[in-house]
Chains A and B, each alone.
Chain A
Amino acid sequence: MKILATYNIKGGVGKTAAAVNLSWMAASEGYPTLVWDLDPQGAASFYFRIKPKLKGGSKGLIKGKHELDVLIKGTDFENLDLLPADFSYRHLDLLLDDQKKPTRQLGKLLKPLETDYDYIILDCPPSISLVSEAVFQAADALLVPMIPTTLSLRTLQQLLRFQKQKELESLRIMPFFSMVDRRKKLHQQIVDELPKQYFNVLETEIPYSSDVEQMGLHRAPLGSYVTKSRSKIAYDSLWQEIHQRLQGF
């Protein structure tokens, strides 16, 4: 089982779009996959048409009242399950803080699912907090969507520094460009000139596309309702690349 997390300090960069579409890709290739919607806003749950509500709230979850397994919902897609968001996730930091070894808690919760899923994708809220630190501890890889701006590079550097500081050597950070608009000069410049190798940036970029925007209308992963679109192909090749990189360790 590999645990991936879509993560960025910033909101609106395509984390949820990536979590939803990549999980669909993995599942449709036959890998049992779980998405955990960790964002109290519940965007990923919305895309899967599942109510952002957990029995017992996040308190029940963290205190171990319910096994994770009984809170999981099957999506409309084979092999693809969701652990829904809950509004109470706003207080997740406080709840974690109350536990021994707070940053180990997510990993501990996910452990029993080891034999059930090939991939678990955590869709994170935009912040740096105890929750994100727990995510870094639990995850094998962070998928970091970046809109090509100078600011986004700075946040990436910050993240890498944080990784070093917290000695998270085994965490793989896989940034990729998201919502790329090739008509914008700045986007072009940054995407083309960034020393990708240095930052381990994935080759595939996700273009800015109205197909992705429309996911909110369809309330479904892109791949389930379009057949050939630039953005679907992009997510597909992004997944192949991630998959490939994960084989290597």
Chain B
Amino acid sequence: MPNGFVGVKPRVSGNAIFAKSQTNVTNVTCHYYLNDETDPIEALHSFRDLGQLQIGLPIMVERVFFDSFDWRLYQDGGMLVQEQEHGRTRSKWLRLTDNQLMGMLMAKVPRFPRDLPEGPMRQRLVPLLEMRALLPLVKMKSQVYRAAVLDKQLKTVLRLSVELGCVHGNGNSITGTLPPRFNLEPVKGYIKPVLKAQTVLEHVLRLEPAVPLLDEALSIIGRRAGDYTGKIKVDLSPELPAGEAVRRILLNLLETLERNLEGARADYDSEFLHDFRVAVRRTRSLFSQVKGVLPADALNRFRPGFKWLGQITGSTRDLDVYLLKLPVYREALPNSMQDDLDPLKDYLERHQKIEQRQLAKLLDSARFKHLCHDWRMFLEKDLDYLSWSDKASKPILNIANRQIWKTYKQVLREGEAINVNSAAEALHELRITCKKLRYLMEFFQTLYPEGKIRALIKALKLLQDNLGDFQDLEVQADALRGFGHQMKSDEADLPGEVFMAMGVLIDNLHQGQQAERQKFADRFASFARPKNRKLCSELFNLRGR
């Protein structure tokens, strides 16, 4: 991946430094490696033919790069860097390929994008990052030699810099040194000097293009951009013995769980705990869905532990969900009532803190540590999976096919039995079956043609969204009622308005639930349409072939 950016064609759009009429220029490499023995000032002097050169004194720049845990800025082609120079702190949102400034803040990077000042940067980052916090990734200190190329009017038309940087760990110790870099910083609207400078760099100085600074710094601390995603994708081949396949999936899930541990413990943002819980749920689902592959004694040994993990994380997650929903709830109320919800917010925040503290304690417990340790030992050390069971040595494709097909047919059966008079429970049941099917398709997705399995997952997701909303809205209404009772008994002197506002919300939620119920028939029909049935049969039904 670190080399992925070399020679990448620039997107000629919004901020591109190239005019449309100059699209013949395709290479916008702005970073180069400078040879170790080249003197920075001397290197800068090589550009004196470009115009008048203004060379400044070298300065120290301290940088901390930020992104969400799941790399949302990076995936979007950008990076957020907090810079300190001459004691002044600024945060810049830069495009990865050419360092073009996309937004700037004269302050430190806030924890959440919603804490940014009103403006385009906030408008763009809030929907991109959603609930995710901005976390520091890597810290650097650099000696920077800067020069400006001036035109005849003494206006800057290009900036150049040489950067000698180190990556710093906690407590300021140097972790590693970066190779010296030569950077071009184009000035918007001045393309000719950039092209001339590139000629000097490539043909006179003969420098090699460099990867973006962020990637370089990350490689020093042994990390790679994009090294976490909440999605599960385990490479499997059809003939792989089922035991080995299941082992790989479970290990992948354990890894996800462990990677989210620190953030969930410290509550950097609510998504850590969410991903943690999903990993737990998927693990438990695999326990029960792929019966007979894992040895019974192992199941007996580890099942209770994962059940426990589901339980201890539940109440914190619930409160997280309501805190995330609160802005939506507010919006749904008439303007005059919106502030009336403030006591609910206080209540939720207070209780979330209490639950979170409790959870952190449990995640520090010996029980949790042993569970993770023993589970890993079992998955890594007990390599004799062939002796797990009979099924463990069968090709995984057969087992996956059978289980998916069975669950798929169950979804169809349950869905077809639902009509306008069916009880809510029937939809809840179907929701659970759909979830099982979803997990199965995701666990085993690499066994099937990518486009086809993706299309099915997408169709299923639409149905799940409907069923999920139907259930959630009811759960939320019930929870609000519960919070209301709790608040009344906790604090006697709360204003009546808050309960009124909550009453309106509960009504809203019930109405929303009815609306979801109306949509069900269409969604289900769409999922169960002949095209999808054919596809499922083709992929999973052995007998049908």
Contacts and interface: CB of A to CB of B under 8 A. Distances in A.
A115 B189 contact: no
Nearest to B148: A76
Contacts of B189: 70-74, 81
Main secondary structure of the interface of B (DSSP, over half): loop
Given A30-B90, A69-B15, A74-B187, A48 B155 contact: yes
Interface in B1-47: 14-16, 18-21
A50 interface: yes
B190 A73 contact: yes
Contact of B156 (A72, A76, A79): A76
Contacts of B124: 115
Nearest to A55: B19
A97 interface: no
B104 A78 contact: yes
A66 B19 CA distance: 9
Interface string B309-320: 000000000000
A76 B188 CA distance: 10
Contact of B103 (A29, A32, A49, A74): A32
B188 A73 contact: yes
Contact of B105 (A1, A30, A76, A115): A30
A32 B155 contact: no
B20 A116 contact: no
Interface string A44-76: 000011110001000000000011011111101
A31 interface: yes
B106 A73 contact: no
Contact of B14 (A32, A71, A115): A115
Interface in A1-39: 1, 29-32
B187 A73 contact: yes
Contacts of A79: 101, 104
Contacts of B155: 48-50, 76
A74 B188 contact: yes
Contacts, number: 63
Contacts of B20: 66-67, 70
A35 to B, nearest CB: 13
Interface string B120-148: 10011000000000000000000000000
Interface residues of B, number: 26
Most chain A CB within a 10 A radius of its CB, from B16, B106, B119, B187: B119
Contacts of B151: 49
Contacts of B365: none
A213 interface: no
B153 A32 contact: no
A101 to B, nearest CB: 26
Nearest to A67: B20
B321 interface: no
A116 B119 contact: no
Contacts of A116: 14-15, 120
Pairs of residues from A and B, 10 with the lowest C-beta to C-beta distance, nearest first: A73-B189, A49-B155, A74-B188, A74-B187, A30-B106, A70-B19, A49-B153, A76-B156, A30-B104, A118-B119
Interface of A: 1, 29-32, 48-51, 55, 66-67, 69-74, 76, 78-79, 81, 114-118, 219
25 contacts: A1-B120, A30-B90, A30-B104, A30-B105, A32-B104, A32-B120, A49-B151, A49-B155, A50-B155, A67-B20, A69-B14, A70-B18, A70-B19, A70-B21, A70-B189, A71-B189, A72-B189, A74-B189, A79-B101, A79-B104, A81-B188, A81-B189, A116-B14, A116-B15, A118-B120
